[in-house]
Copies of this chain bind each other. A is one copy, B any other.
């Protein structure tokens, strides 16, 4: 029996007589034969694997990676979609400059058919490098300008609007914002969406201070806001950790949350649930976004077209005790 016939049976194509099929399968099972992926890839130009890249530009981040439940949610969303299509999910971490270069090299050489990238930092060069290498890529979060690839993202402006409307409806008329660094598009949308929604309701200029996503920086930003205007009755923070920082400052000053000042966070991370008081926050459907990301990539691989689709998700306001 020729190799061609075996190949046909293994790949389930063309018409092979049932008897022969049976014999081939039996032989495969008996000998424990496994086709050589390298040889197969050489001709099919497919590896059957897709990379899920967790990338950061800052130093040692495996501690962050394996303690922030966010990544677990991403993985949970991605795995079932790939498994169903018999595509092997491969996790890669890019935590330093040499790691990034090695990783790009690995993928350029054909380590995987495509990449799902979760960048932690806005200035991460990795997505641009992968796209430049011609690798089908889908990002969690919109790419930097000039990088053309698929993405999934949250409608940050809509989320900010939800927060604004909630605070307004609760009678808060002197809100402030603890924003994130200006460079981040998502951060800009959250800020602009919030101020625009309030302006539409006739609110005057909203005081803004910026943090760097950490709890400590949120605390400091809140301190600056308070110094500028102790009449503030609500705070919208660009993420949950900074919202916690704001709460901590207010607690230190003996300001009651939410009675005197209402606080709304963003993300609905576990940090929001575990905060004191539990944070009212804007939720992103991470698992759904992650599985959509996987589906977008698979669709592109199937189609073979150079363009990848994108999808914007709607946020939901989760009301707890802080506002």
Q: Are B34 and A38 in contact (CB under 8 A)?
A: no
Place the interface of chain A in its size category: 35 or more
A120 to chain B, nearest CB (A): 14
Chain A 155-173 residues near chain B, CB threshold 8 A: none
How many angstroms between the C-alpha atoms of A88 and B98 in the bound complex?
11
> Quick check: A63 and B76 within 8 Å, CB to CB?
yes
A20 interfacial contact with B, CB 8 Å:
no
Residues B93 and A106 in contact, CB atoms below 8 Å apart: no
A47 in the interface (beta carbon within 8 A): yes
Does A105 lie within 8 Å of B72, measured CB to CB? no
Q: Is the CB of A83 within 8 A of B66?
A: no
Most chain B CB neighbours (cut-off 10 Å) among A34, A40, A66, A108: A66
Using Cβ atoms and an 8 Å threshold, which residues of chain B touch A63? 69, 72, 76
The CA-CA distance from A8 to B35 in the complex, in Å, is 29
Check B34–A105 contact: CB distance below 8 A. yes
Tell me whether A111 is interfacial, beta carbon within 8 Å: yes
Kindly list chain B residues whose C-beta atoms are within 8 Å of the C-beta of A60. 76
A65: contacting residue among B42, B66, B68, CB under 8 A = B66
B contact residues around A30 at 8 Å (CB):
none
Asked if A7 lies at the interface with its beta carbon under 8 angstroms from chain B, I say no
